[in-house]
Structure 1
Amino acid sequence: MSPFSSETACIFLAVLAVLGGTALCKYNKCPGLVQLAICLASLWGGACWLSLSLFWGLVLFSLSCLFVYTYLSGQELLPVDEKAVLVTGGDSGIGHALCKYLDKLGFTVFAGVLNEKGPGAEELRKTCSPRLSVLQMNITDPEQIKDAVSKVTEKVQDRGLWALVNNAGVLGFPTDGELIPMTEYRRCMTVNFFGAVEVTKAFLPLLRKSKGRLVNISSIGGWVPMEKLAAYGSSKAALTMFSSVMRHELSKWGIKVSVIQPGGFRTSIAGTSDMWDKMEKDIMDHLSAEVKEDYGQEYIQVQRKFLTFINEQANPDFTPVVQDLMHAVSAKSPLAFYAPGKFAYLWFCLASFLPTGVFDYIRISNMKKCMPRALRVPNSKNKAT
């Protein structure tokens, strides 16, 4: 069996590069092309390393072309055709931007909001078309969810609901997991996980009618362990796993399920300064004397700088995440996972494939450490007594 010559390999790689370049030019706004390119590059790199025969090189090349064609053919966007979409958390941030974008494209939009008389809801009414309906929908209130189902059912009737986008969520006060009160763990799980699950269960009959889409907005923090986000990350990890299970279970009904795991985008999820004051006070009130002495009050108070850091570093432009959401809602074959945002997919890959020790070293080396009092002053307890 003759070796797969370097000249032959170069020819095939050149042709593949042309195909890939053409695809990138034509579908430059199509999510997942980076992942596709990485897969193909790894495949051909392995082929060259193994020095395959010309025959197997041709087979591999043909399979690669078929794979690219199949992938791109599934990226075709379906027509709007009066499709109805419900988005939770439409008051502000990503949900607000998505409601406006979908309305502009001609979708019938149901914007679930926490406060139907708030500024976010009023802006949607003023700037969007009559197709958009604002729904009072606190996702932790079963009665409001039931009322929303009734209103949506009345409007869509036999068409069903094409897509449900579970976007509403809370961040909480980012600090060490030991310091986060149990009330905050429960709040994150109630909103980010149980709320999304309850809304999903309530609207699934309408999704089955349309054989539509379930899109859950999780977070890169639900896959990549991030310090100070134990409550938030755990709730988003639960939502990610729920979505993965539902993707398998709902496939028999023709419903496609996608998870959006954004990186850092500047939304109102971090809360206001007044909310930070309240959460900081709750933390101090719930700590035992021993824990309070070990960490030190100044350590706890400096944690709010992390919230400021989040807002400063986050991307104010929601375009990448809105485009991925649009793809998940409208593509003929949406992806199971999306990771919009700067370096989000990179961190996803590092957490997935690197040995734990190596990944932990990278994370630690990139973190600016503010040490608790007992670690800064080793004999602080003895000195205090």
Structure 2
Amino acid sequence: MIYQLLYSTVALCFGVSVFFRYVNDGMNFEFRSALSLLVLFLGEPFCHYVVGEVGGLLLYGLACVVMYLLLPAGEVTIKDRVVLITGCDSGFGHALAQHLDSLGCVVFAGCLHGDGEGATSLASSCSAQLKILQLDVTDAQQVDQARQVVQEYLGPHRGLWGLVNNAGLVYFGELDLLPFSMVQRSIDVNLVGMLRMTKTFLPLLRKGKGRVINMSSIAGSVPLMFMCAEGAAKAGVEAASHILRQELKKWGVQVSIVQPFAFKTGWQSSESMLTNYNQIRQALDKDTLDTYGLDYLDAFKHNLLNEESLNEDLGQVIGVMTDALTSRGPRAWYPCGRGTRSLVWLSNLLPTSILDMILPLLMLQIDVTPTGLRER
């Protein structure tokens, strides 16, 4: 009798909690919603009569808690909310600006080249609500000017709903070959730029109880060859994001990391890769050039320009960035791309010796031995 009462109490609490979640959050009925009903109506008799009294009660209670946590969070209305996106010249930022504009959002699109092709394309393809900002995230003066423009638009009583720190760049190459100016530039744009933007716009985000979405990459969590500069910067982005999420919680500001893998944006185009290689080649000193050899560099260049496995459909990434802005319960981490979640999980699980054998197989394959090793 006592166990029947306890089972009924757990079922009642779970049912009422799910009901109010639907009422308050406006959730859509989908797979997880259907699963919650199965747990509610079939889980109780199964645990009671099949598993047993004590064990079954514990299992049923645990299933209810887990199922409640997995329920979709519902969405907030994005129409007329103000979102600032950096790096809108091309790629994810450009596509997100267009998408949010189509949803009725007021978009401030920060472009490195405010009068460039990307900015012109946005201005012509989007509504008058979208506003182009000349914005280099490494330039403190431009960042402050952007803040003034956004603050003037918002007025004294409104806050900023979203800051999407998307501006970034990628330099491929071994650290031994990269000129340090490229390493510094990667950190300045990918990490310091994100921190500068977040710090500058925090007063407006606090007022709006808004969202910060920081663009990372798989290199921020998984040690991939040829991505030392980006990996160092993006690991910093992820560490800072986790800390900011805790620090800003008291203000109602939520922080999410978007972590894409193997998507083709402007930085992965053949033109950008060729520029990447030429900058490396021109900066090499004679000793390093002699140590690696021209045939090694030619093999690196060939692989750099013939990467065909990248996904040109940015829809998945735009979808999760939108979810981070519209969900009532945005996730802390949004992995995007085939195998991203598994790669991160394996990199934390596998011994270093095994990881060091597997990960190089995922990156550029250079089948040429450096000259310095052949001469030994």
The TM-score bracket by the shorter chain reads 0.7 to 0.9
Q: Could you tell me how far apart the structure 1 residues matched to 2:225 and 2:196 are? A: 28
Q: Which runs of 5+ in 1 are unaligned?
A: 1-24, 34-51
Indicate conservation of the 8 Å contact 1:86/1:164, yes or no.
Answer: yes
**2:224 aligned counterpart, secondary structure:** coil
**1:261 aligned counterpart, secondary structure:** strand
Q: Could you tell me how far apart the structure 1 residues matched to 2:270 and 2:148 are? A: 33
- CA shift, 1:199, in A, is 0.9
Residue 194 to residue 316, structure 1, CA distance change in 2 (3 Å): same
Residue 334 to residue 373, structure 1, CA distance change in 2 (3 Å): same
- CA shift, 1:341, in A, is 1.0
- CA shift, 1:196, in A, is 1.0
Residue 128 to residue 27, structure 1, CA distance change in 2 (3 Å): farther
What residue is the counterpart of 2:312 in the other structure? 316
What residue is the counterpart of 1:66 in the other structure? 65
**Same amino acid, percent of matched pairs:** 35
Q: Could you tell me how far apart the structure 1 residues matched to 2:337 and 2:273 are? A: 25
Superposed counterparts of 1:84-163, under 5 Å = 84-157=82-155, 158-163=157-162
Residue 128 to residue 365, structure 1, CA distance change in 2 (3 Å): closer
- CA shift, 1:127, in A, is 1.5
Note the alpha carbon deviations across 1:289-343, whole angstroms, 9 max, x for none: 3332221122123223333344x21111111111110111111111111101111
Q: Which amino acid aligns with 1:280?
A: Y
Q: Which amino acid aligns with 1:283?
A: I
- CA shift, 1:283, in A, is 2.7
What residue is the counterpart of 1:241 in the other structure? 239
Indicate conservation of the 8 Å contact 2:273/2:305, yes or no.
Answer: no
Q: Which amino acid aligns with 1:56?
A: G
Indicate conservation of the 8 Å contact 1:192/1:239, yes or no.
Answer: yes
What residue is the counterpart of 2:55 in the other structure? 56
Indicate conservation of the 8 Å contact 1:294/1:372, yes or no.
Answer: no
What residue is the counterpart of 2:280 in the other structure? 283
The answer to whether the aligner puts 1:168 opposite 2:185 as a matched pair is: no
Note the alpha carbon deviations across 1:24-69, whole angstroms, 9 max, x for none: x9547x9xx9xxxxxxxxxxxxxxxxxx865224322322222222
- CA shift, 1:363, in A, is 1.9
Superposed counterparts of 1:238-277, under 5 Å = 238-270=236-268, 273=271, 276-277=273-274
Note the alpha carbon deviations across 1:192-220, whole angstroms, 9 max, x for none: 11111111111111000011101000001
Indicate conservation of the 8 Å contact 1:110/1:135, yes or no.
Answer: yes
Indicate conservation of the 8 Å contact 1:170/1:270, yes or no.
Answer: no
Superposed counterparts of 1:200-215, under 5 Å = 200-215=198-213
Indicate conservation of the 8 Å contact 1:221/1:233, yes or no.
Answer: yes
RMSD in angstroms over aligned alpha carbons? 2.7
Q: Which amino acid aligns with 2:355?
A: F
What residue is the counterpart of 1:41 in the other structure? none
Which has the higher mean CA deviation after the structures are superposed, 275-284 or 254-263? 275-284
What residue is the counterpart of 1:344 in the other structure? 340
Q: Could you tell me how far apart the structure 2 residues matched to 1:82 and 1:299 are? A: 54
What residue is the counterpart of 1:18 in the other structure? none
The total of aligned residue pairs comes to 335
Q: Which amino acid aligns with 2:337?
A: G
Indicate conservation of the 8 Å contact 2:85/2:166, yes or no.
Answer: yes
Superposed counterparts of 1:218-237, under 5 Å = 218-237=216-235
What residue is the counterpart of 1:300 in the other structure? 297
**1:313 aligned counterpart, secondary structure:** coil
Residue 334 to residue 202, structure 1, CA distance change in 2 (3 Å): same
Q: Could you tell me how far apart the structure 2 residues matched to 1:303 and 1:97 are? A: 31
What residue is the counterpart of 1:198 in the other structure? 196
Indicate conservation of the 8 Å contact 2:274/2:305, yes or no.
Answer: no
Residue 125 to residue 287, structure 1, CA distance change in 2 (3 Å): closer
Residue 27 to residue 268, structure 1, CA distance change in 2 (3 Å): farther
- CA shift, 1:177, in A, is 1.7
Q: Which runs of 5+ in 2 are unaligned?
A: 1-27, 34-50
Indicate conservation of the 8 Å contact 2:98/2:122, yes or no.
Answer: yes
Q: Give the TM-score, by structure 1 length.
A: 0.80
Q: Give the TM-score, by structure 2 length.
A: 0.82
Indicate conservation of the 8 Å contact 2:267/2:273, yes or no.
Answer: no
Residue 128 to residue 286, structure 1, CA distance change in 2 (3 Å): closer
184, 187, 208: which one pairs with 2:185? 187
